[in-house]
């Protein structure tokens, strides 16, 4: 399922990405492409991953976060996760991702 652009919003210099219900390798390419185009075009500084609709995420989700973090962190940008359910929070923490992504509750 391709992501459409309604899933992306830019507020100030924050790019907010509404993550799909299932975050896996299949959907990862679409998210990467859309996010990277907006990062380049709109001078986005920070990224907020909104997991409100997400019930499943495998390690491909970490790849998406790491990749975007690398693109913005050299300009001092930060990466946030919001609306994570208990399982997504646990996966992010248990995989050491909380070192680069701030989980807001």
Partner 1 sequence: METLKNQISIEFDAISENERLARVVIAAFLAGIDPTLDELEDVKTAVSEAVTNAVIHGYKENGGKVVLRASLSTDEKLTVDIIDYGVGIANVEQAMQPLFTTGVPSERSGMGFSFMEAFMDGLEVESTPREGTSVHMWKHFAKRQTTGTKPILQAAVWNRTGRE
- Specify the residue, 9 or 100, whose C-beta has the smaller distance to partner 1: 100
Nearer to partner 1, 37 or 70 (CB): 70
Query: Could you say whether residue 39 binds partner 1 (CB under 8 A)?
Result: no
From the list 19, 69, 18, 81, the residue with the least C-alpha distance to 44 is 69
Task: Mark the segment that binds partner 1 (CB under 8 A) among 3-11, 43-51, 69-77.
Answer: 69-77
Chosen residue from 13, 40, 53, 87 binding partner 1 by CB under 8 A:
87
Residue with token string 């701030």: 102
Q: Tell me how crowded residue 19 is: count the other CB atoms within 10 A of its CB.
A: 25
The DSSP secondary structure of 10-56, one letter per residue, reads: EETTEEEEE--SEESHHHHHHHHHHHHHHHHHTT--EEEEE-TT--E
Task: Provide the binding-site residues for partner 1, judged by CB under 8 A.
Answer: 22, 24-26, 28, 32, 56, 58-60, 62-64, 66-67, 69-70, 73-74, 87, 90-91, 94-97, 99-100
């Amino acid at each position: 399922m391709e992501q459409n652009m309604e899933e992306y919003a830019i507020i100030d210099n924050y790019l907010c990405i509404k993550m799909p219900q299932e975050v896996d390798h299949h959907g990862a390419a679409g998210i990467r492409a859309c996010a990277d185009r907006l990062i380049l075009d709109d001078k986005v500084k920070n990224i907020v991953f909104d997991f409100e609709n997400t019930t499943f995420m495998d390690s491909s989700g970490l790849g998406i976060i790491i990749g975007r973090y690398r693109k913005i962190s050299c300009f001092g940008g930060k990466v946030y996760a919001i609306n994570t359910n208990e399982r997504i929070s646990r996966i992010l923490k248990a995989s050491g991702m909380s070192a680069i992504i701030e989980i807001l509750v």
